[in-house]
Amino acid sequence: MTVPVLKGGKYLVLAALLTLSGATAAQLLPPLGGGLGQVTRGVDRLGDTVDSTLTDTANRASGLVDRLARTRLGRLDALVRQNPQALEFDARGDPAVKGELIALDAPAGAVAAATAAGFVVVEHGEIEGLGIRSTTLRAPAGLNLAKAEKQLSRIMPGATIQSNPIYQPSGAAAGGSARPVAASPSGPGATIGLIDGGVAAHPTLPRAIVQRGFALGAPLPGDHGTAIASILVGKGAVRGVSPRSRLLVADIYGRDPRGGNALAIARALGWLSVNGAAVVNISLAGPANPLLARAVAATDRRGVLMVAAVGNDGAASPPAFPASYPQVIAVTGVDRRGRALIEAGKAMHLDFAAPGADLIAAKAAGGTARMRGTSFAAPFVAGRLAQLAAGGALPRARAVALLSNEASKGGAARLYARGIVCAPCATR
């Protein structure tokens, strides 16, 4: 195989990748232990090592796409093995809340039949703000999720049955040098909702942030949520895109190993919808899910703009959700030179790119850290939409058109879609 020669001797990076043996490649998988935050970092370390120096052709030649796919599978396996009492794989091979199924459109008679068969109703009711009625059931002891889903589908033929899968952050801290986020001059901004982990008190963040927990131990400050909040509304060391916006934070993780599940996201969307969020940032990625799909559609009908990251699992990964839902504005990331992040995942559609590397953002313990990933691209788009919506409700099609008019153009549409939002923001 011919090794492409890259400027500045960077062909050595590619040569090293090409010579990785199977055993060496396994070292790219994240180590066990440390919970959700740790098992989401493997792809970020890989992207940081290569530092976006490879062209698309070189990526294919090196098998990097396959390596990212293996890293994803290893990360998901580690997540479940670290939390065997709380999580298991569902019928589709996705990590989900152990023994838990969600039924939509279940008639009362079917629920009674399910309980007679050994299923236990955990809760039944309407998700606040969205008008969605759901029933959460626990499977009989000893029955795994895949078999339980088949059995419950037979008992409830008119209902939609699926697991309660887990969604993970789409970025983490990275090593090396970087420049502070430096947003364009900001005017008024509409209220922004953030679905993530908790946000810490930080000198660059306003004190008036409102937080609510949707998991055990939440709200609990974390680096991921704090970093994204600083890109959205930071002032000082990190100058956010829309610093005059009010920020509402829905912590769906807390200390809960089951945190980040579809039901928690749906409840967070309902809470944000009824509390005045004009734009919601969701820097999380996971599988398609009927409850999440309905929650997204209901939130869209309320006129709330939703922005989601496409994830960091590479081009070979399954489409990321909620970014792939048609009502959601899907965002990928670019580095300081405007090059697409090699680890960026995909969605069933792509709307915009934004800075996703070489960023300095706030960290929960104070100070700042370098961040990389599509997680940190999404808030550039969400923050700018909050500015555009400052004068009142902004329909999604109109919002996309306005943002498209000001986005920097160039490159293949499959990499940048309608353009790069806030292209100079992170490179001043």
Work out the percent of the chain whose per-residue pLDDT is above 90. Answer: 72
Q: Are residues 55 and 75 in the same domain?
A: yes
Asked whether residue 109 falls in the same domain as residue 224, the answer is no
The better pLDDT of the pair 30, 61 is held by 61
Which pLDDT band, with edges at 50, 70 and 90, does 320 fall under?
A: very high
Query: In this structure, which amino acid lies at residue 426?
Result: A
- Domain final residue, candidates 165, 182, 197: 165
Lowest mean pLDDT among 28-42, 193-207, 226-240, 402-416: 28-42
| Strand, helix or coil for residue 114 | helix
Note the pLDDT of residue 143: 96
Q: Do the domain assignments include residue 113?
A: yes
400 dihedral zone (left: phi>0; alpha: psi -120 to 50; beta): alpha
How many separate domains does the chain show? 3
Choose the final residue of a domain: 165, 191, 215. Answer: 165
Give me the mean pLDDT over the 29-43 stretch.
35
Position 397 in a domain:
yes
The verdict on 307 and 412 lying in the same domain is: yes
**Cβ 355 vs Cβ 174: under 8 Å:** no
190, 233: one domain: yes
Residue 422 lies in a domain: no
Last residue of a domain, one of 121, 147, 165: 165
Q: What is the mean pLDDT of residues 18-37?
A: 30
| In a domain? residue 421 | no
Q: Under 8 Å CB-to-CB from 141, ≥6 apart: which residues? A: none
Q: Is the pLDDT of residue 225 over 90?
A: yes
Average pLDDT over residues 225-246: 96
pLDDT, position 37: 40
Q: What is the mean pLDDT of residues 27-36?
A: 31
Q: Is residue 87 part of a domain?
A: no
Coil vs helix vs strand at 11 = helix
Bridge partners for 316 per DSSP: none
194 vs 28: which has the higher pLDDT: 194
Same domain membership, residue 172 and residue 61: no
Is the distance from CB of 352 to CB of 331 less than 8 angstroms?
Answer: yes
- List b or e across 118-137, with b for residues whose CB sees 16 or more CB atoms inside 10 angstroms: ebeeeeeeebebbebebbbb
Predicted TM-score (pTM) of this structure: 0.85
173 and 263, same domain (yes or no): yes
Query: Are residue 249 and residue 123 in the same domain, yes or no?
Result: no
Burial (CB < 10 A; 0-12, 13-18, 19+), residue 160, is middle
- One domain, residues 259 and 128: no
Average pLDDT over residues 19-29: 27
Range of the domain at 393: 168-416
CA angle 198, 318, 336 (to 5 degrees): 60
Q: Does 68 reside within a domain?
A: yes
Asked if pLDDT for residue 14 goes beyond 50, the answer is no
**One domain for residues 26 and 125:** no
pLDDT score for 409: 84
Mean pLDDT value across residues 394-403: 96
Q: Is the peptide bond before 379 cis (omega within 30 degrees of 0)?
A: no
Where are any strands of DSSP class E within 58-167? 87-89, 95-104, 120-127, 132-138, 160-165
CA distance 232 to 243: 7
Say whether both 391 and 259 belong to one domain. yes
Residue 420: closest CA among 332, 344, 358 = 332
CA–CA dist 360, 170 (Å, integer): 16
What distances in angstroms separate CA 246 from CA 194, 345, 362, one per listed residue? 11, 30, 18
Q: CATH number of the domain that 136 lies in?
A: 3.30.70
- DSSP secondary-structure letter at 128? T
Tens of pLDDT, residue by residue over 96-132, are 999 999 999 998 899 999 999 999 999 999 999 999 9
| CA dihedral of residues 299, 301, 304, 307 (deg, nearest 10) | 70
Whether 51 shows a pLDDT value over 70: the answer reads no
Mean pLDDT computed over 343-353: 95
CB 261 within 8 A of CB 165: yes
When pLDDT is averaged across residues 233-241 and rounded to a whole number, the result is: 94
Dist CA 353 CA 332 (whole Å): 5
**Do both 247 and 258 map to the same domain?**
yes
pLDDT tens column, 247-275: 999 999 999 999 999 999 999 999 999 99
**Whole-number Å distance between alpha carbons of 66 and 334:** 21
**Out of 154-168, 267-281, 405-419, which region has the weakest mean confidence (pLDDT)?**
405-419
Alpha-carbon gap, residue 411 to 15, rounded angstroms:
26
pLDDT of 380: 97
In a shared domain, residues 139 and 197: no
| pLDDT > 70: percent of the chain | 80
Q: What letter represents residue 380's amino acid?
A: F
For the cut 80, the answer to whether the pLDDT of residue 49 exceeds it is: no
On whether residue 425 sits in a domain, the answer given is no
In whole numbers, what is the pLDDT of the chain averaged over residues? Answer: 84
In a domain, 385, yes or no: yes
